[in-house]
A and B are shown apart, each in its own frame.
Chain A
Amino acid sequence: MSEQSYSADARVVILGAGHAGGSAAAFLRQYGFAGPIVLIGDEPHAPYQRPPLSKAWLKGEADAASLMLKPAAFYTDQNVELRLSVAATAIDRAKKTVGLSDGNTIDYDILIIATGARARRLPIPGADLYGVLELRNADDAEKLKHAIGPGKRLAVVGGGYVGLEVAASGRALGAEAVVIEREARVLARVACPTLSNFFQDYHRAKGVEFELDAAVDAFVGDEGHVTGVRLADGRVIACDAAVVGVGAIPNDEIAGTAGLALDGGIVVDEAARTSDPAIFAVGDVTRRPLPLYARMHRLESVPNALEQAKQVASAITGRKAPAPEVPWFWSDQYDLKLQIAGIPFDADSIVVRGQPDSAKFAVFHLKGDRLLAVEAVNSPPEFMAGKMLIGNGKAVDAEKLANDTVSMKEVAA
């Protein structure tokens, strides 16, 4: 049970109407919370799912309605007050109020900060040219969709998951795509070399070009419109549009100004509570404990947003805290389904199962005989069994794991 108890008619105010904030409202109602809930968001849209913005939606395979986290009727039926196109500007913890950009002030008993993260921008000349884009929200995605099509040339700055997904979707729509990456390989910060090489080869085979080890010095343009990306070696990579995907920065300033503990994100505990017991924080904006890895980390994923939304709804309704989950993530590119579970902190060995050439393989990261992480390409059994083994901490036989004629059932037994 939580140390703190909250009254059943407490007023819950949620800042940020994204995946985490919207889910927190939904779980609070699912768990029987009957008090008032106010969900405040600075975007003009009710909460929606971001993953399709670089995948199915960008390719035109999913419509706007399917992106919505909940249908409009949900907010009236479940009595969740949505206030959109309004930003929270300041939190007064002594008075328990939040100041809003429309000049109003709102009282809370319990505050949930779910302000997410924003795209990191490159502080270089030309970054404000028309056609230099980022991809964090639905409006960004709309602009990007207009910029890619047959015959268009797209420069993707930053070879992370979102950048690679955009390149793949761009190719599917007939655009040319070049990925420019500062490191020697794509996915350098988030995946192992085997996986990076596999994705580079796969994208190349689909016609994507790569500039690796390439620092971007400036965007160059003509009459205010981007026409190219200038690299440190002086070359200019021509493009009709450039999308910058070089990481995200947590929107934690409002919490910091209010004196809540920050450490590259709002610091929270296992119940998603901040250093103020009346204030919780969930989603991309948090630095949270990872009990399975005994450390603090900031995750940017839907499963993380949902897990923390359940934690806060449980804490507020006095429900048993949910069991800690293995962090996981997915990415779709072309016909590849990538599923990743766990994080390879301090891994000391790597086992590859299956053949990367066949586009069906998995990379396992171990520390001793414990599995820390798995990266599975078109290999759901490896992902599912790997996730289970990471969670239960059972010893793993590396030889069996490497032998794909031994079933994952047997490996996990």
Chain B
Amino acid sequence: MAKITYIEFNGTEHVIDVKPGLSVMEGAVKNNVPGIDGDCGGACACATCHVYVDDAWRDKVGTAEELEKSMLEFAESVEENSRLSCQIVVSDALDGLVVRMPESQH
């Protein structure tokens, strides 16, 4: 299990044990963490699982691939550290990961 801290836009923290192999989006949705919708179920088709990766974790998480980048280009409030959380696969190396959520996913 990897401990992942999801921080809502209003500051509320959710610390969740996520099984390696699941995506960061699935970890949130399956545990009913508000603020990550994941409408398309992880097909990288909707950009409703947008998160900001904590600076300390950006290298370990890596960068977005082409498809994800082009989806993010048009998402709202995109920053340098924006990622679609359905494209981040949880592994033991991400134990301790911290992600923050934007104000809205739409």
Residues of A in contact with B (beta carbons under 8 Å apart): 26, 29-31, 49, 51-52, 66, 70-71, 74, 78, 302-303, 306, 322-323, 325, 328, 330, 332, 337, 339, 380-381, 384-385, 387-388, 408-409, 412
Contacts of A325 in B (CB 8 A): 106
Closest Cβ–Cβ distance, residue A75 to chain B (whole Å): 11
Q: Is the CB of B106 within 8 A of A323?
A: yes
**B67 — nearest CB in chain A belongs to which residue?**
A380
CA distance A333 to B22 in the complex (A): 23
Partner of A303, one of B29, B46, B67, B70: B46
The stretch of B37-45, B85-93, B94-102 that contacts the partner chain = B37-45
Check B32 for interface membership: any CB of A closer than 8 A.
yes
User: CB distance B73 to A409 under 8 Å?
Assistant: yes
A306 contacts which chain B residues (CB < 8 A)?
37, 39
Q: CB < 8 Å: which of A328, A332, A385 contacts B43?
A: A332
A51/B30 in contact, CB under 8 A: no
> Are A408 and B74 in contact, CB atoms less than 8 angstroms apart?
yes
Kindly state whether residue B1 has any CB partner on chain A within 8 Å: no
Residue of B nearest to A322 (CB): B106
From A384, which residue of chain B is reached at the shortest CB distance? B74
| Nearest A-chain residue to B71, judged by Cβ | A380
- Asked if B32 contacts A384 (CB within 8 A), the reply is no
CA distance A78 to B32 in the complex (A): 9
Collect the chain A residues with CB atoms within 8 Å of residue B43's CB.
51, 330, 332, 337
Query: Cα distance A52–B45 when bound, in Å?
Result: 14
In the bound complex, do residue B34 and residue A30 qualify as a contact, i.e. CB atoms below 8 Å apart? yes
State whether B34 touches A384 (Cβ < 8 A): no
Which residues of chain B have C-beta atoms less than 8 A from A412's C-beta?
Answer: 74
Per-residue contact bits, chain B 61-79, to A (CB 8 Å; 1 contact, 0 not): 0000001001101110000
How distant is the Cα of A332 from the Cα of B34 in the complex, in angstroms? Answer: 27
Task: Please tell me if the beta carbons of B39 and A384 are within 8 angstroms of each other in the complex.
Answer: no
Chain B window 8-38, contacts with chain A (Cβ cutoff 8 Å), 1 for yes, 0 for no = 0000000000000000001001111010010
Interface of A is mostly: helix
Please list the 7 inter-chain residue pairs (A to B) with the smallest Cβ-Cβ separation, ordered nearest first: A384-B74, A330-B45, A30-B34, A380-B70, A381-B70, A380-B71, A303-B39
Is B4's CB within 8 Å of the partner chain A?
no
Decide yes or no: A385 and B74 within 8 Å by CB, A51-B41, A302-B40, A330-B43 being known contacts.
yes
Q: Choose among A323, A330, A408 the residue that contacts B40 (Cβ–Cβ < 8 A).
A: A330
How far apart are B31's CB and chain A's nearest CB, in angstroms? Answer: 8
Given A51-B41, A302-B41: A74 touches B74 (CB 8 Å cut-off):
no
Contact partner, B32, options A30, A303, A381, Cβ 8 Å: A30
Question: Interface on chain B toward A: helix, strand, loop, or mixed SS?
Answer: loop
Least Cβ–Cβ distance between A32 and chain B, in angstroms: 10
7 A-B pairs with CB atoms under 8 Å apart are A29-B32, A31-B34, A74-B32, A302-B39, A325-B106, A380-B71, A388-B74
Q: Which residue of B lies closest to A338 (CB)?
A: B45
Q: Are A384 and B41 in contact (CB under 8 A)?
A: no
Does any Cβ of A come within 8 Å of B47's Cβ? yes
Please indicate the chain A residues that have their CB under 8 angstroms from the CB of B106 in the complex: 322-323, 325
**B36 vs chain A, min Cβ distance (A):** 11
B66, closest chain A residue (CB): A380
Contacting pair B32 A339 (CB below 8 A): no
> Of B37, B46, B74, which contacts A330 at CB under 8 A?
B46
| Bound: A328/B47 CA distance, A | 12
Residues of A within 8 A of B46 (CB): 303, 328, 330
In the complex, what residues of B have CB within 8 A of residue A70's CB? 29-30, 32
- Which residue of A is nearest B31, CB measured? A74
- B37: shortest Cβ distance to chain A, in Å? 7
Report yes or no: A384 in contact with B30, Cβ–Cβ below 8 A.
Answer: no
Contacting residues, chain B, for A387 (C-beta < 8 A):
74
**Which of A322, A323, A337 is B45 in contact with, Cβ under 8 Å?**
A337
Extra A-B contacts (7), CB below 8 Å, given A70-B29, A384-B70: A26-B32, A49-B41, A66-B26, A325-B106, A330-B45, A380-B45, A384-B71
With A and B bound together, what is the CA distance between A78 and B26 in angstroms?
17
**Cβ contacts under 8 Å, B71 to chain A:** 380, 384
How many angstroms between the C-alpha atoms of A387 and B45 in the bound complex? 12
Contacts of B74 in A (CB 8 A): 381, 384-385, 387-388, 408, 412
B45, B67, B70 pick with most chain A CB within 10 angstroms: B45
Complex alpha-carbon distance, A409 and B29, angstroms: 30
Nearest chain A CB to B105 CB, angstrom units: 10
Closest Cβ–Cβ distance, residue A108 to chain B (whole Å)? 23
Smallest CB–CB gap between B93 and chain A, Å?
A: 22
Nearest B residue to A31, CB-CB: B34
Q: A49–B45 Cα gap in the complex (Å)? A: 15
Cα–Cα distance between A381 and B66 once the two chains are bound (Å):
11
Which residues of chain A come closer than 8 Å to B32, judged between CB atoms? 26, 29-30, 70, 74, 78
Task: Give CA–CA (A323, B26) in the complex, Å.
Answer: 25
